[in-house]
Amino acid sequence: MKNTDRLFGSLELLVLKTLAAGPNHGFGITVHVETVSKGLLHMEEGSLYPALHRLERERLISGEWRQTDNGRRARLYTLTAGGRKRLTENEASWSSVALGIERVLRFV
Amino acid sequence: MKHAIEWLRRLFHRDSAWQEEIESHLAMRADWHRQQGIEPDAARTRAARDFGSPLRALEAVRAVHWAPWLDALAQDARHGLRVIRRSPAFSLAAVATLAVGIGASTAVFSVVDLLLFRSLPYPRADRLVSLGFSGPIDTSEFNVGNAYLDWRVHQHASTAMTSMYPGGQCDLGEAPPLRVPCIQVEANFLATLGIIPAAGRDFHPEDDRPGAPKVALLSYPVWQSRFGGDPGAVGKTISLDDAPVRIIGFLPRTFEMPQLGEADVLLAEQLDEGVARAPRSTVFLRTFARLKDGATAETARQQMLPLFTDSVRRYVPPQLQREVGLVVRSLRDRQIHDVKLASWLLFGAVLALVALACANVANLMLARAAARRKELAMRAALGAGRGRLARQMFTESLLLSLAGGAAGCVFAWGLLRAVVAMAPQALPRLSQARMDGRVLLFAIAVSLAAALATGLLPAWERLSAAALAGWHSAGSGRSWARPVLVAAQVAISLVLLTGASLLVRSLWKLESESLGFQPRRVVTATFTLNRQRYNSVEKQDAFYSEVSRSSPVFLESADLP
């Protein structure tokens, strides 16, 4: 995360949010984030995998080896119930943090 | 054990799965670039650039999985250290016991490793054999000139056969010359062993013809000390026994004679067929061969047997024919022939000593179990699982064993130096024994084995349900481990003590054995006389009588041929 990794937990938040739309593999997550942010956010691919494994250890997501549509083997991650709950919490706190920062920046 | 292997297998499997995940990402990214219309090669390069270092990513993934485990380990270690500090007398006794066991076995390993396990300094050394006659004359196999000449031509057992004269000395240099070991070898000697000179060339067949100009290969130490390691010294002339000899090359630093003898100078053998074939010829040789692929010393012996029988019939006097046999054995067996059994025995004895030390410490730990039952019961009540408690105990014995191993290494180092200083010739290669990486690895392996041995049994015992429930059962019939340990200790001690007392008895007999003469006030001395100046028996006799006349020490001197 070039633009956002100064904000704590943003990478995890984006991963959880992306997986909320359906199971996906690491590469799919980077493409999704880039496309949806219209190129504003660019994931640093090397640090995505440690994050995925950390989330899996915390049982927020679960991974499984599958065949992709174009015949490659990839590890697909699915959001668990715990992950869904964590996403809701983090979305709320992120919004308030973002709002707070926005207000500070706007103050002249 | 099975569990441990399964666990390791899963560990490696998991790690390769993490790698595969990263590789699959790179492949998909490359696919994606290709769909944007980039050449396949460029697509792969660009995918790699997008990703950054896959190794660093893999490291980070590993860290995610290992970190909690390492944390637990650190916690266990801290607790273990506290426990150890709380009972210093117990810990000191345990560490000292293990240090003696591990130290002794490490010191012995550093010696027997050279003899039994470490590969010899020749390429494909397992193919090299020593072969020849066994007989009452010599403890090692030897060959006679005319038999060797037959074998060399007619044998099919090996790809190359070579020979050397056993022993030999010459005077190197002038004023004053130095008496050095000087060995005559056949021209194909180094080639058969697979050794290439460090500088210069090997012997040519022409050098080996009787009467050819004398040429020599010098050892690495002589090259360094006399010529400062200068490769330009090849072609220079040196004086050997007051005759000029041209240097054709220098031996590599790691070179060893196959029979472990010393050799500062190698000369061409120049075996004269006429002399060797003459009746009553006394040409004795040592012979070595490189076996064909797939052949063993035993199959080679079978193949050589007809040739040998023929040689015995032709060249061995009838009254001796029954006393000779054919020997073909690996170079290693040749080198350690009379110490092979001793090495294994010594190694076995120190391993028994380690087992004894472990049994002792395990027993100490069991004895302490009573004192710690309350603590364990409390921790179990607070929610620590059996596995967690077992790991805790294992960490304690691991700490003790590693401390014992470290102290043992220091002990082994001292022991090794003492033994080498006291008896450098006691075993072949003893002076080469070092505490190197291999030996340290052995020490670590023994320490880990000791940790398993001393940790698992007490953990098993102490973690019985009764102990964890905190019942103070006075029942003594419950424990099976301590009687078994005590029995093992007594058994091992008995074996070791019996062996040691037999050894002492033999030594005592050797000391008190009558020599058949009065050894008191008798000393022996050896003189090295210049070969040219004292080139006849008369001149040598004159020297000795001069010495005994002029010296007050020599009350009597005996000249033996």
Closest of B267, B276, B282 to residue B169, by C-alpha: B267
* Predicted pLDDT at B288: 95
Contacting residues of B for A11, CB less than 8 Å apart:
none
Chain A positions with Cβ closer than 8 Å to B? 25-27, 31, 44-47, 49-50, 53-54, 57, 65, 68, 70, 72-75
Give the end of a domain, one of B303, B335, B367: B335
Token output for B257: 């004679």
- Give the tens place of pLDDT for each residue, B36-45: 888 989 999 9
Say whether pLDDT at B466 is over 70: no
Q: Which two tokens stand for residue B443?
A: 């020490």
| Residues of chain A found within 8 Å of residue B60, distances taken between Cβ atoms | 46-47, 49-50
Tell me, what amino acid is at B397?
A: S
Q: Give me the sign of the Cα torsion angle B326, B330, B334, B338.
A: negative
Which residue has better confidence, B550 or A79?
A79
Domain covering A10-106 in this structure, CATH number: 1.10.10.10
A65 contact residues in B (CB cutoff 8 A): 17
User: Is there a single domain that holds both residue B80 and residue B94?
Assistant: no
Q: Are B288 and B193 a contacting pair, CB within 8 Å?
A: yes
**Domains in chain A: boundaries:** 10-106
Using pLDDT thresholds of 50, 70 and 90, give the confidence band for residue B473. very low
The pLDDT assigned to B553 comes to 62
Q: In the structure, what pLDDT confidence band is assigned to residue B420 with cuts at 50, 70 and 90?
A: confident
Q: Which amino acid is at B110?
A: S
Contact at 8 Å (CB) between B264 and B167? no
B129 closest CA partner among B296, B284, B281: B296
Please, are residues A46 and B54 in contact by the beta-carbon 8 Å criterion?
A: yes
CB B94 within 8 A of CB B404: yes
CB atoms within 10 A of CB B129: 28
Listed in sequence order, the residues at least 6 apart from A61 whose beta carbon sits closer than 8 Å to its beta carbon are A15, A16, A19, A52, A55, A77, A78, A79, A80, A83
- Residue by residue, DSSP assigns B50-116 as HH--HHHHHHHHHHHHHHHHHHHHHHHHHHHHHHHHHSHHHHHHHHHHHHHHHHHHHHHHHHHIIII
Taking contacts as CB-CB distances below 8 angstroms, the residues of chain A near B20 are 73
Size of interface A-B (CB pairs under 8 A): 63
The answer to whether residues B105 and B130 belong to one domain is: no
What SS3 class is residue B558? coil
For residue B29, give the chain A residue with the closest CA: A27
User: Are both B96 and B147 inside the same structural domain?
Assistant: no
- Distance from the Cα of B480 to chain A's closest Cα (Å) equals 42
Q: Determine the 3-state secondary structure of B536 from DSSP.
A: coil
> What is the rounded average pLDDT for all residues in chain A?
86
Are B63 and A65 inside 8 Å of each other by CB?
Answer: no
Nearest-CA distance B376 → chain A (Å): 30
Together in a domain, B525 and B500: no
CB atoms within 10 A of CB B304: 24
Q: Considering only CB atoms, which chain B residues are within 8 Å of A47?
A: 57, 60
Residue B519 structure tokens: 């050894």
CA distance A95 to chain B (A): 28
Judgement on whether residues B524 and B498 belong to the same structural domain of the protein: no
B355 and B379 assigned to the same domain? yes
Cβ A74–B24 below 8 Å, yes or no? yes
Q: pLDDT tens for residues B367-392?
A: 776 677 777 778 778 877 777 777 88
Residue of chain B whose Cα is closest to the Cα of A49: B61
- B267 — alpha (psi -120 to 50), left (phi > 0) or beta? beta
Subunit contact A31:B32, Cβ cutoff 8 A = yes
pLDDT value at A106 more than 70: yes
The pLDDT value recorded for residue B425 is 75
pLDDT band at residue B72 using 50, 70 and 90 as cut-offs:
confident
Name every residue whose Cβ is closer than 8 Å to that of residue B222 and which is 6 or more positions away in sequence.
B172, B180, B264, B265
* Closest partner CB to A45 (pick from B27, B52, B68): B52
Q: Per-residue pLDDT tens for A21-73? A: 999 999 999 999 999 999 888 888 888 999 999 999 989 999 999 888 778 88
Task: Note whether B69 and B388 are within 8 A (CB).
Answer: no
Residue B377, burial from CB neighbour count under 10 angstroms (0-12, 13-18, 19+): middle
Q: Are B364 and B93 in contact (CB under 8 A)?
A: yes
Choose the mutation target among A2, A5, A49, A54 for the interface with B, i.e. most B CBs under 10 Å. Answer: A49
Separation CA B133–CA B152 (nearest Å) = 15
User: Across-strand partners of A24?
Assistant: A77
The one-letter amino acid code at B330 reads S
CA distances from B237 to B177, B210, B215, B345 (A): 15, 20, 9, 49
Tokens 């697909």 belong to A76
| Residue of chain B nearest A27, judged by CA positions | B25
pLDDT of residue B478: 53
Nearest to B193 by CA among B260, B111, B285: B260
Q: Residue B355 region, left (φ>0) first, then alpha (ψ -120 to 50), else beta?
A: alpha
Kindly determine whether residue A50 and residue B18, on different chains, have CB atoms separated by under 8 Å: no
Closest residue to A74, CB basis, from B18, B28, B61: B28
A47: closest chain B residue by CA: B57
How close does chain A come to B33, measured CA to CA in Å?
12
Considering its fold, how many domains does chain B have in total? 4
| Mean of pLDDT over chain B | 85
Note whether B24 and B165 are same-domain residues: no
B68 interaction partners in chain A (CB closer than 8 Å)? 57
- Is the pLDDT at B263 greater than 50? The verdict is yes
Chain A closest-CA separation from residue B43 CA (Å): 15
> Looking at the structure, do residues B362 and B506 belong to the same domain, yes or no?
yes
- To the nearest whole angstrom, how far is the Cα of A70 from the nearest Cα of chain B? 9
In chain B the first and final C-alpha atoms are separated, in Å, by 65
- B44 and B164 in a common domain: no
Task: Say what the pLDDT of residue B470 is.
Answer: 53
Residues from chain B that touch A54, judged by Cβ atoms under 8 A, are: 64
Residue A27 half-sphere exposure toward CB, CA atoms < 13 A: 22
- Nearest chain A residue to B22 by CA distance is A49
Separation in Å, CA A22 to CA A16, B140, B377: 10, 80, 48
What is the secondary structure of B17-46 as a DSSP string? HHHHHHHHHHHHHHHHHHHTT--HHHHHHH
pLDDT computed for residue B265 by the predictor: 93
Residues B362 and B464 in one domain: yes
What pLDDT score was predicted for residue B465?
56
For residue A107, give both structure tokens.
């103050």
Q: Which of B269, B177, B183 has the alpha carbon at shortest distance from B218?
A: B183
- pLDDT of B352 reads 92
A92 has which bridge partners?
none
Structural domain range at position B261: 125-335
A54 contacts B21? CB cut-off 8 A:
no
Other Cβ atoms within 10 Å of B347 Cβ, number: 19
Pick from A27, A44, A53: which is nearest to B28 by CB? Answer: A27
Nearest to A54 among B24, B29, B64 (CB): B64
- Residues B319-337 have pLDDT tens digits of 888 889 999 999 999 988 7
Within 10 angstroms of residue A50's Cβ, the number of other Cβ atoms is 20
Q: pLDDT tier at B317 (50, 70, 90 boundaries)?
A: confident
Tell me the average pLDDT across B60-75. Answer: 86
Please name the member of B22, B24, B60 whose beta carbon is closest to the beta carbon of A73. Answer: B24
CA nearest to A52 within chain B: B61
Q: What is the pLDDT of residue B555?
A: 52
| Pair (B202, B283) in one structural domain | yes
Residue B447 has pLDDT above 60, yes or no: yes
Same domain, B363 and B321: no
Q: B114-136 pLDDT, tens per residue?
A: 888 888 999 999 999 999 999 88
Give the DSSP letter of residue B127. Answer: G
Query: B21 and A50: CB-CB below 8 Å?
Result: no
Q: What is the dihedral of CA B470, B474, B478, B481, to 10 degrees?
A: 90
- Neighbouring C-beta atoms of residue B166, cutoff 10 Å: 16
CA of B390 to nearest chain A CA: how many angstroms apart? Answer: 24
| Contact call for B64 and A50, based on CB within 8 A | yes
Q: Which of A12, A8, A1 is nearest to A54 (CA)?
A: A12
- Please name the member of B17, B20, B53 whose beta carbon is closest to the beta carbon of A46: B53
Contacts of A45 in chain B (CB under 8 A): 25, 29, 50-52, 57
- Of A27, A46, A68, nearest to B52 by CB-CB distance is A46
* Bridge partners of residue B138, in order along the sequence: B135
CB contact under 8 A, B24 and A72: yes
Structural contact between residues B289 and B235, judged by C-beta atoms closer than 8 angstroms: no
CB contact under 8 A, B60 and A26: no
Higher pLDDT, A80 or B365: A80
